[in-house]
Structure 1
Amino acid sequence: MKALQIDEPKSWKQIEIPEPSPPREGEALVRIHRVGVCGTDLGGYLGKFPFFSYPRIPGHELGVEVLAVGPDVTNVVVGDKCSVEPYINCQKCYSCQRGLTNCCEHHQTLGVMCDGGLTERMILPARKLHPANELTYEQSALVETLAIGCHAVDRAKVHASDTVLILGAGPIGLSVLEFVRIAGARTIVADLSEKRLSFVTDEMGVRDTLTITGGPDDIERLEGLTDGRRADVVIDATGNHLSMARSMQMAAFGGRVVFVGITQSNLDFPHAPFMHRRELTLLASRNALSSDFTRIIRLIESGAIDTGPWITHHANFDEVPTVFPTWIDPNSGVIKAIIHVV
């Protein structure tokens, strides 16, 4: 059975792996139809993503079909289209006992710490499959990205009266945008790239954008958009340590700052003038919860989330080693690339 592996940074290899064994209790055998590509995959390819180890079969944004189920499985049946919740948790640690399955102490993300879905078939815990029979396989593969934004907005406790500044207009920033809008809050999207800001304006209807320069005028222009108040909520989706440290300067007094991006660098920020003086709340947001997947599938089914603008690039399985490096170029215009396995 064919699979694609990143055997070391910047190196793809097509390999043969054994066919999966029949599913046991609590398991399901699935056929992989679509695999979404995100910043985790790009960072893993470049050797820049924390937690990624080599060699690794990537792929955690998955649209799959159920081929067989174990004897006790009741949440899915053969033939179901499903979105995959790729966060494998132990179900035993203190975090799992409290329902915090997204930050299990022994957490393994498919395609990052363990092999993922860039192959033909695989065995998965059936509890990680979310039926999505009204969605296309492409839409099912998008659900995980949207879940990251859903969880981050929930962490921020966004209200309709809030002004929310989203730093970073990549896929995670866009997933945050979807749920800020559902919450009814005012949104400002900031990025270094004029091209990305044009996309959120033209394709996603965002009225207020901010081109980040790194200078003091960034704050001045934000204050111009907010009557001098700055943002009630700042959600940093950049994964850039300089942006993350600076995000506190963009928050209003009593504001909330959420880090949904990931950096390997230390964060260095002044405590007294921003964190303390403004009495800010600082939150991390990791992965998502099972309930987020169910919610998102229903929102896509109802039309509350339009997936149309999201998918900008496609590739067949055999094309990936050649095409994948081109998706790293910021000028490629990639928002979400989808790999067709079958």
Structure 2
Amino acid sequence: MKYIVCKEPGTFLLEETNVPVRKAGEALLKITKVGICGTDLHAFQGNQSFFTYPRILGHELAAEIIEIDENEQGLKTGDHVIIMPYLSCGTCVACRNGKTNCCTDIAVLGVHTDGGMQEIISLPTDILIAAGTLTDKEIAIVEPLAIGAHSLRRAEIKKGESVLVIGCGPIGFGIIKLAQVAGANVIAMDVNNQRLEFAKEAFGVEHLVNAIDNPLETLLACNNNELPTVVIDATGNKKALESGVNYMAHGGKYVLVGHHKGELTFNHPFIHSKETTLMCSRNATMEDMLKVKEVLESGAFPTDAYVTHEVPFEEMIENFDSWLKPETGVVKAMLTL
């Protein structure tokens, strides 16, 4: 079978190996779609945390079962499945408290262990979810959307609440749509006017704020002269992460989804005066994945607009560099096997 490995920063290789041997408690899977995410881009560039090389990337996956034992989920050969890419220990304090997303010994496919950029993979049955009526393209975006679902669950979004989403990328767009589904009044912020226009056209965001051009003034003007009670950062940019609290109302919540490889600095008197609830949101849980499945089944998410680029698996290497360039207009790139 064929697979693509990131040998070192800046180098992908298309190679061949034997089909993996399925272990007890695992299912043998044919990968059908692989979504490309920021983690993959950062790994290729050499600036991804918790990373070692060589590594087979890919954790946004759609798959079809080739071989499986009898299981509690009732999954069988031929079923298409969603893959929860976070392998947790189940016994640490986080897992015991239902926070498997931040397990002390977590292994994420394509990050800590080899992922799905391979034709066939063997994975534990208990991380598989029956896809139901979802298409393979929808299956492959469940995981990135679940990141957003988890952040909104952390923030305990209420219907009618004002929510500012900073960063109109694939994670940000997921947060935007899921917040809309939850009944929030969503405001989008970015430095790129094309991304903001895309938020309006594809996701129906009425209120847009350019972070460079008088953002505070624009934000107040579009929100009844008040700041939003929830601000969610989906940029991972140091300047954006440190400034997001400026746009949050007193008594509000600031949720950091974007990940920065380094230190952040906040002015304590300022965040204290707002009685800021500052929280991080990492990965997702099975509950979040199932919530996203429900939203996708309802038809509420614009999948075709979200997935902007698709190429055959064997053409990924020649296209990958272009996906790093803003002018390419990539929101979500996807491989088809």
The normalised TM-score by structure 2 is 0.97
Give the match's secondary structure for 1:106.
Answer: coil
**Residue 52 of structure 1, CA deviation:** 2.2
Query: How many angstroms apart in 2 are the aligned matches of 1:190 and 1:72?
Result: 45
Alignment correspondent of 1:70: 69
**Residue 18 of structure 1, CA deviation:** 2.6
Query: How many angstroms apart in 2 are the aligned matches of 1:202 and 1:211?
Result: 16
AA at the equivalent of 2:249: A
| Distance change (3 Å), C-alpha of 1:75 and 1:262 | farther
Q: Write the deviation string for residues 74-130 of structure 1: whole angstroms up to 9, x where unpaired.
A: 441111111111001111211111111111100011001110000011111111111
CA contact (8 A) 1:27 1:73 kept: no
What does 1:319-338 correspond to in 2, within 5 Å? Answer: 319-338=315-334
Q: What is the aligned length? A: 337
Give the match's secondary structure for 1:309.
Answer: helix
What does 1:1-342 correspond to in 2, within 5 Å? Answer: 1-24=1-24, 26-72=25-71, 74-213=73-212, 217-273=214-270, 275-341=271-337
CA contact (8 A) 2:202 2:302 kept: no
Long gaps (5+) in structure 2: none
Long gaps (5+) in structure 1: none
AA at the equivalent of 1:212: A
AA at the equivalent of 1:315: V
Query: How many angstroms apart in 2 are the aligned matches of 1:170 and 1:295?
Result: 21
CA contact (8 A) 1:9 1:44 kept: yes
Give the match's secondary structure for 2:27.
Answer: strand
Query: How many angstroms apart in 1 are the aligned matches of 2:291 and 2:265?
Result: 36
Query: How many angstroms apart in 2 are the aligned matches of 1:49 and 1:165?
Result: 26
Query: How many angstroms apart in 1 are the aligned matches of 2:279 and 2:126?
Result: 28
Query: How many angstroms apart in 2 are the aligned matches of 1:302 and 1:244?
Result: 33
Larger CA deviation: 44-53 vs 187-196 = 44-53
Larger CA deviation: 173-182 vs 304-313 = 304-313
RMSD over equivalenced CA pairs, Å: 1.2
**Residue 298 of structure 1, CA deviation:** 2.1
CA contact (8 A) 2:168 2:195 kept: yes
AA at the equivalent of 1:82: V
CA contact (8 A) 2:10 2:44 kept: yes
AA at the equivalent of 1:324: F
Q: Write the deviation string for residues 276-314 of structure 1: whole angstroms up to 9, x where unpaired.
A: 001110010001110121222122112232322111101
Percent identical among aligned pairs is 37
Query: How many angstroms apart in 1 are the aligned matches of 2:22 and 2:108?
Result: 22
Q: Write the deviation string for residues 122-149 of structure 1: whole angstroms up to 9, x where unpaired.
A: 1111111111131111110010011000
CA contact (8 A) 2:177 2:203 kept: no
The normalised TM-score by structure 1 is 0.96
